[in-house]
Chain A
Amino acid sequence: MSGFSLLQGTIQSLTQKEFSDHDDFLFNLYKVIDRACKKISSRSKKISKLENIEKIYKILEKLDQDDKKEVLNFISKTLEDDISIRIVDIISENCNFRVSHEGYHNGRVDILVDSWDYEHKWLGEAKIYNGPSYTELGLKQLVYDYSKGEFNESGGILIYVDSTTLGILEIIKNWERKLVQLSENPEHKLENIEFEYDIKNPRVLFTRHTHHLSKDQYRIRHFCVDLRDNSHTE
């Protein structure tokens, strides 16, 4: 049997023009997103706009605390946008998805994906890794601001890992602990949260909770994009 049969993953995904249900939409989207993450992680030039980032950090040391915070926020936002745009560009090569960076859905979502027929929607919010409390900001934007909990809508939290010695699994486990902690307080709108795992890929965490507006189940995929090169193992 040839490697290019009709049921070969990529061929089937690009041939298919209608998703049977939201699970089918997510199954195909996750494959395309994983392709994007793999492409970006495997490139030697992972951080395209901020190649001189080490030099910028050295300059930062000379600034006072307020200025330093402002510049660090600017760097984080620029890097988040840069990687999100690259993911959007890769997803857009699959004609079954309509994808935009900062598309409008109750606010400007980092990565907004619709199925080609607009029947299904996925909202991705991205944050540079800077500990679970920083990732929480992205979760709040997704859950509180952008998501509506509509039929056939779900979300994603993307953690861009660029400067930590922690392993991906450790980052996901720490994030899971943070989610458990947040869900204990009803103010955080993560009612009835449940955790699901992909036994084939423990680096990805899935949650379901009762959406605060629609009261329907809202699914979120939490995952990392590893941007580190060998200099971060030193």
Chain B
Amino acid sequence: MNIQSRSYFHTLIINTKFSTDTDVKKGCLELLDFLIEQPSLDLETSFYFEELRKHVSLEIEDDDFIYSVFYLARPEVNILKQEFSAWKESVHDFVLVEDKNFILEMLRDKEYVNPFSGEELSSEEFEEQVLTFFTPTSYFLDKRNVRI
């Protein structure tokens, strides 16, 4: 009998109940295929939606793909971690925003500023100056080669 072992994380997702009307589960599994096969992965690796989208089949709608990414970032799943970066004029680059709550409060209140300069921003400017991305968690990095 040929019993092929799966990664711990694939098994976790396969055994989790998802809606049968969406492709969120399929999206999670395809993202996992990519993350597990990725040769060089560490806590500094950043994934933007555009990069992750390339590894999820196009038959999965964007909306379901986004749900899949956020599913992997749930605290109880703990594969990805959502982070934010913002444009810092003094270094001419995007820099990690340590205080996530500052961003979450802006999203809640719909009042936008640049987290570093404090300059008030329109929603369009905010979209250009504040970005979100995902990093692998240390929990995922520790366990990604575990097969059961």
Contacts and interface: CB of A to CB of B under 8 A. Distances in A.
Interface stretch (A89-97, A103-111, A159-167, A168-176): A89-97
Interface residues of B, number: 34
Interface of B: 17-22, 24, 48-50, 53, 62-63, 66-67, 70-71, 74, 82, 84, 103-104, 107-110, 123-124, 126-128, 130-132
A36 B107 CA distance: 24
Contacts of B48: 4
B107 to A, nearest CB: 5
Contacts of B24: 93
**Which secondary structure dominates where chain A touches chain B?**
loop
B109 A89 contact: no
Contacts, number: 81
B70 A95 contact: yes
Given A4-B50, A20-B108, A90-B21, 12 more contacts: A4-B53, A5-B131, A6-B126, A10-B67, A15-B70, A15-B107, A15-B132, A16-B107, A35-B63, A39-B19, A39-B22, A86-B21
Contacts of A230: none
A194 interface: no
A36 to B, nearest CB: 8
Nearest to A11: B66
Interface residues of A, number: 32
A20 B106 CA distance: 11
Contacts of A15: 70, 82, 104, 107, 132
Contacts of B110: 20
**9 smallest A-B Cβ distances: which pairs?**
A4-B49, A89-B19, A5-B127, A14-B70, A39-B21, A90-B19, A10-B66, A20-B108, A6-B132
A1 B128 contact: yes
A3 B108 contact: no
Interface of A: 1-8, 10-12, 14-20, 24, 35-36, 39-40, 43, 48, 86, 89-90, 92-95
A97 B19 CA distance: 15
A17 B50 CA distance: 23
A24 B108 contact: yes
A39 B130 CA distance: 31
B55 to A, nearest CB: 14
Given A17-B104, A93-B67, A1 B22 contact: no
Contacts of A2: 49-50
